[in-house]
Structure formats: C-alpha cells, structure tokens
Amino acid sequence: MKTATTATRSPAPTARPGRRRRRSLAVLAATAATLVVWIVAVPLAGVDLVARTGGAEQTVTPVAVGVATLVVSLAGWGLLALLERFTARARAAWTVVALMVLLVSLLGPLGGGVGAAATLTLVGMHLAAGAVLIPLLARTAGR
C-alpha cells in the first residue's frame, strides 16, 4: 500500500538576488568613485569646484555629486533591465549606449567648468563613474 507523502520542495534558487546585489554594489562603487575624486580635488587639492549652469555659477557639493551619480547609475541599471527583457544582446547594446552617454556627458564639464582645475575635476568625476559603472553593470547582464 502506498502512502501519500507531502514533500515540500523549495523553489530553485535564482540569480536575481545575486544579480541585484552586484548591481547595487556597482551603483554604490560608482558613487564612491565620484566622491573620492571630489574629496581629492576640493578639500585636499583646494580646487574651487564651480560649474556654469545656464547663466549662473554654482558650487558643486558632495551631495550634488552623490545624488547625480546615484540617479544616473540607477537609470543605467533600469535601462539594462529593460534591454534584458527585450533583446538577446542586452550586454552589448547597453555597453554601447552607456559609452555614448558617457561621451555626451563630458560636454557638460567641458563647457561648464569654471577654470581649468574645475573642468578637469568634473571630467575626472564623469570618467570615474563611467570607468566603474560600465564594466561592473555590463558584467551582471544576463544575455
């Protein structure tokens, strides 16, 4: 006589929590990289970090640097997630778009930095964010 047993199976682990964790770390690492550039340039090297926005000049604070990097990094994550849903070559497509966005983003500091040191610092922050975020997020792409 067979007895019915109730075997409980846990669902197979998915890569989602690990992928989410790696992407979160990539966003945080990019933010940390831009803040390190700010710390080295402003308090340590004494750069007066001022940018022209429209007709006004504005001091670039660490809060502005951190928030801007977080927002752009999260947007990059969102785009990568969308591409993974709708294309088979998400990693390649995302990397190309991310590199293009990085290049276009350099137009801001190149035209908006007040003085050579400020311009160099702003360019350095953009490049630091891209150098960290692009390879780390691309590495997490599923396809």
pLDDT 10s digits, 99-118: 999 999 999 998 888 899 99
pLDDT 10s digits, 47-80: 999 998 888 999 999 999 999 999 999 999 999 9
Domain count, the chain: 1
- The alpha-carbon radius of gyration of the chain (Å, integer) is 21
Asked if residue 85 is part of any domain, the answer here is: yes
Asked if residue 25 is part of any domain, the answer here is: yes
Asked if residue 3 is part of any domain, the answer here is: no
Asked if residue 10 is part of any domain, the answer here is: no
Asked if residue 1 is part of any domain, the answer here is: no
Question: What's the mean pLDDT in 130-134?
Answer: 98
- Phi, psi of 99, rounded to the nearest 5 degrees: -65, -40
- Which domain covers residue 43, as residue numbers? 17-139
Task: Report pLDDT for 53.
Answer: 84
Question: What's the mean pLDDT in 76-98?
Answer: 96
Q: How many CB atoms lie within 10 A of CB 24?
A: 13
51, 113 contact by CB (below 8 A) = yes
pLDDT band at 12 (very low <50, low <70, confident <90, very high): very low
Task: State yes or no: pLDDT of 13 exceeds 50.
Answer: no
Task: State yes or no: pLDDT of 8 exceeds 80.
Answer: no
Give CA–CA dist 130/57, Å, rounded: 25
Asked if residue 2 is part of any domain, the answer here is: no
Give CA–CA dist 40/143, Å, rounded: 37
> Of 109, 104, 103, nearest to 122 (Cα)?
109
Asked if residue 87 is part of any domain, the answer here is: yes
Asked if residue 102 is part of any domain, the answer here is: yes
pTM score, two decimals? Answer: 0.84
Q: How many CB atoms lie within 10 A of CB 51?
A: 20
